[in-house]
Structure 1
Amino acid sequence: MGSTASTRNGTWRNWGGTVLAHPAREVAPASVDELAAAVRRAAEDGLPVKAVGTGHSFTSIAATDGVQIRPHLLAGIRDVDREAGTVTVGAGTPLKRLNTALAREGLSLTNMGDIMEQTVSGATSTGTHGTGRDSASLAAQIRGLELVTADGSVLTCSAEGTEEERAVFAAARIGLGALGVVSAITFAVEPVFLLTAREEPMPLDRVLAEFDELHAENEHFEFYWFPHTGNTNTKRNNRSAGPERPVHPVRGWIDDEFLSNGVFQAANWVGRAVPATVPALARVSSRALSARTYTDIPYKVFTSPRRVRFVEMEYAVPREALVDTLRELKAMVDRSRLRVSFPVEVRTAPADDIPLSTASGRDTAYIAVHMFRGTPYQGYFTAAERIFTAHEGRPHWGKINTRDASYFSRVYPRFAEFTALRDRLDPERLFRNDYLRRVLGT
């Protein structure tokens, strides 16, 4: 199974199979000058412009019937500044390529999400994050941006520029593709380090009772709760002085490929065909992985292969609301006739200062619900979303949600700041699509 979106006969389809688009034309610029020219030509032709990465967003945030920009030729490391502790990369660089290139340079990002198939611009523009007590989102690690705006100008911005450049930098780190087409990103990096991962099963009641301590005592804590059970799998990642002790290749293949992908895929096939089997399958799945501890460089600890296709909704709630929210979610599943074969993922992030970050201005907990692709998900997601929004939840911009601009204006204190900047940079809405019309307004 491929790890990216696909295009066939002029039809673009995202990775999750939830979005189709029919762009009028596709452009793959090999330089920022070619990108700027493509944007200017689209404006002259009256066509909207959207950039698309590997299609890992479940929403239609990248869909267009106008000009689709494919940035895969704008890839690779442009510059490494060891003194400043930064690296500048082309916007179309896949995270996997960035992580391996940084490792060869003896460098690393501080934190990252749990997959690395996305492009750096797609991941940051939608607010992709990992889990962390002190650090989390990729966008919060950005130190500079280069983007092409609606008039075809190339704008370079950082926290050190003019007042307008600072305003663009503040917002465009998570810009939803609404402010321009990102062509390059400068990230903060640090010397590569080791993380020790401790993975072990734990009862859900214990995790919730001890959540504050587990969060406070670990640099990176996350857990997966299996609906229809009281079981979780927990993961604690903390910096280590070494020595490096990676997962044994055979154990890694058994756990990460055979069980977590092969057997789990087969279980989901059975559950989709015979929903009554899901609770029993969930009990088996929740006990399939045993405890393990290993030490490795960051991207080999933070990320893992995800080959079982699914659809996902994720909401960010105030961290102090996490336990109550998850208890409500469990109670809803328990009293319903839903059959949920995918675990619920829980992560955290500290507050940041990015206007449309899901962690903007508040310490945050993330709750992600999933369903196997091809399984009806609307009933589960609707019920879950009702719970999340009751706690002032903010949905991940790249994952399924039904919220609109009126809702976002209430849960994001700086929402008007972002939309005012959009009015200045793109008054004619060159970067429009239906998704942005819903979440940002006209």
Structure 2
Amino acid sequence: MFSVMKTEQGKRWRNWARTSQSTPEKTFYPSSMEEVIFIVKEAVQEQKRIRVVGAGHSFTKLVETNDWLISLDLLSGIEEIDEVNHMVTVLGGTRLFQLGEELGQAGYAQENLGDINVQSIAGAISTGTHGTGLDFGNISTQVVELSIVTASGELLTVSEKQNARYFKACLVSLGSLGIIVKVKLKIIKSLVYAYQSDKILYPLLVEQLDRYIHENRHFEFYLFPYSDIVQVKTMNITERKPDRLHFHRFQNLLLENYLFYILSEFCRLFSTGSSFVSRLSARAIGKTMIAGKSHELFATPRLVKFREIEYCIPIEHFKSAIQEIRECIEEKKHRVHFPIECRTVKADDSWLSPSYQRESAYIAFHMYKGMPYEEYFYDMEAIMRKYEGRPHWGKMHHLSQKELLALYPKLPDFLAVRQELDPHGVFLNDYLKEIWIGEQSTEKLPVME
């Protein structure tokens, strides 16, 4: 079995954002759960550590390894749709866009998605990937059951009913408890949404923020540095028939990618023009009103590469935080032109979820690849920490083990489960050892190319 499995020797791996890279001794592409189990048992026998990769869309060193890397690309697809109980069973490497399309063809959908859909379902669950809407948790809250290959090579089924004491730990685990090979998710009947994008002035946003949050099924907004113009986006259920979205997709590619790439390159070469480009981008926002299915509207293509940090704060601090962000950018004259993405997420009880036991506002900061980001990110992180900010696990951050222990009350319980399921650290790498156990690695910041 092992000899016919697709395997690569010494191939360099890099993540999407080019903030992390390593050269695994071997990279495996299993196409079955049996092959995953075989690899894990071989790794234990040969004293190798394993990391697993989906789309490589995390900005941190989560995947880096010089030992063995497993790609789940070939372990993909829907196994079963349970139309009675509204659930889908899907293999761990399935990309979100693939899942959305296949569910849509069958008349179903996930209840919520993020604004990027290239991640694998296992990766999205493991890092706490989220969308927006205060009635919805992150993608992990859609999980009914997980099938995980543990460090002993056992196929462990985890749910509220089976091995329940592991369930809340497994929902957001950064791939450190085992390899998620299969997932059972809650799904809903496919709906048609009315999507609207418009611009308003910042004082009006502050005045009506609570109404926007509570009166829309899905709501997000974008702050533009050095501008009082704010882009607001809403999605609500409609009786309209879906529109043909060819022009909408073309517009997203043209404006949000190709044109924005040109503007970003200008800012990289002439960073003093960043404030002008930000104001220009804000003024260019038009009004859009379309209808479509969720998997057609939630996500937008992201071709322009960037660095990103994202923090989750209690929602009651939302207004104070965005005001302080705006003031800090102008006071420090940060050379940034990327808009700041602001979303809301329901509280949950997953142990390592940033939204653990609190309704949350997520605020994401971006910097174009090749532009200095350190000072800007440090200042934004300082504001987020002031408001009890917890970092998104897939985004860059500078928090120490001590700080993470203070922010995540169930982290000690999680680490106890981790030690029980993987006592020899098969699924750990240097990065995870540093942020969870306190062992220092030689490099703290992701590399920048």
Q: Under TM normalisation by the shorter chain, which class is it?
A: over 0.9
Quote the residue 1:202 is aligned against.
200
Confirm whether residue 98 of structure 1 aligns to residue 99 of structure 2.
yes
| Deviations 1:76-106, CA, capped at 9 Å, x for gaps | 0111111111111111111111110001111
Quote the residue 2:323 is aligned against.
327
Shift in Å at residue 289 of structure 1?
A: 2.2
Question: 2: distance between equivalents of 1:121 and 1:342?
Answer: 29
Asked if structure 2 preserves the Cα contact closer than 8 Å seen for 1:197 and 1:237, the reply is yes
State which drifts further: 404-413 or 14-23: 404-413
Asked if structure 1 preserves the Cα contact closer than 8 Å seen for 2:9 and 2:26, the reply is no
Asked if structure 2 preserves the Cα contact closer than 8 Å seen for 1:113 and 1:131, the reply is yes
TM-score by length of 2: 0.94
Q: Give the one of 169, 173, 187 matched to 2:171.
A: 173
Question: 2: distance between equivalents of 1:15 and 1:84?
Answer: 36
Asked if structure 2 preserves the Cα contact closer than 8 Å seen for 1:409 and 1:416, the reply is yes
Quote the residue 1:4 is aligned against.
none
Quote the residue 1:432 is aligned against.
428
Quote the residue 2:64 is aligned against.
63
Q: Output aligned runs, 1:28-427, within 5 Å.
A: 28-161=29-162, 165-247=163-245, 249-253=246-250, 255-427=251-423
Amino acid at match of 1:132: G
Amino acid at match of 1:298: S
State which drifts further: 363-372 or 331-340: 331-340
Shift in Å at residue 341 of structure 1?
A: 1.3
State which drifts further: 109-118 or 208-217: 208-217
CA gap 1:398/1:251 in 2 versus in 1, 3 angstroms: closer
Amino acid at match of 1:170: K
Amino acid at match of 1:203: L
Question: 2: distance between equivalents of 1:438 and 1:213?
Answer: 42
Say which SS state the counterpart of residue 355 (structure 2) adopts: coil
Question: 1: distance between equivalents of 2:85 and 2:436?
Answer: 35
Shift in Å at residue 8 of structure 1?
A: 10
- Give the total of aligned pairs: 431
Shift in Å at residue 337 of structure 1?
A: 2.8
Question: 2: distance between equivalents of 1:8 and 1:387?
Answer: 44
TM-score by length of 1: 0.95
Shift in Å at residue 245 of structure 1?
A: 2.9
Asked if structure 2 preserves the Cα contact closer than 8 Å seen for 1:312 and 1:369, the reply is yes
Shift in Å at residue 408 of structure 1?
A: 1.5
Say which SS state the counterpart of residue 57 (structure 1) adopts: coil
Shift in Å at residue 439 of structure 1?
A: 2.3
Asked if structure 2 preserves the Cα contact closer than 8 Å seen for 1:259 and 1:288, the reply is no
Shift in Å at residue 404 of structure 1?
A: 2.3
CA gap 1:155/1:285 in 2 versus in 1, 3 angstroms: same
Amino acid at match of 1:405: Q
Unaligned runs of 5+ in 2: 1-7, 439-449
Of all paired residues, the percent bearing the same amino acid is: 33
| Deviations 1:90-147, CA, capped at 9 Å, x for gaps | 1111111111000111110000001111111111100110001200411110111001
Shift in Å at residue 342 of structure 1?
A: 0.5
Question: 1: distance between equivalents of 2:15 and 2:198?
Answer: 33
Shift in Å at residue 251 of structure 1?
A: 4.8
Shift in Å at residue 29 of structure 1?
A: 1.1
Say which SS state the counterpart of residue 96 (structure 1) adopts: helix
Shift in Å at residue 44 of structure 1?
A: 1.1
Shift in Å at residue 430 of structure 1?
A: 0.8
Amino acid at match of 1:239: I
Amino acid at match of 1:57: S
Unaligned runs of 5+ in 1: 1-6
Amino acid at match of 1:51: V
Asked if structure 2 preserves the Cα contact closer than 8 Å seen for 1:112 and 1:136, the reply is no
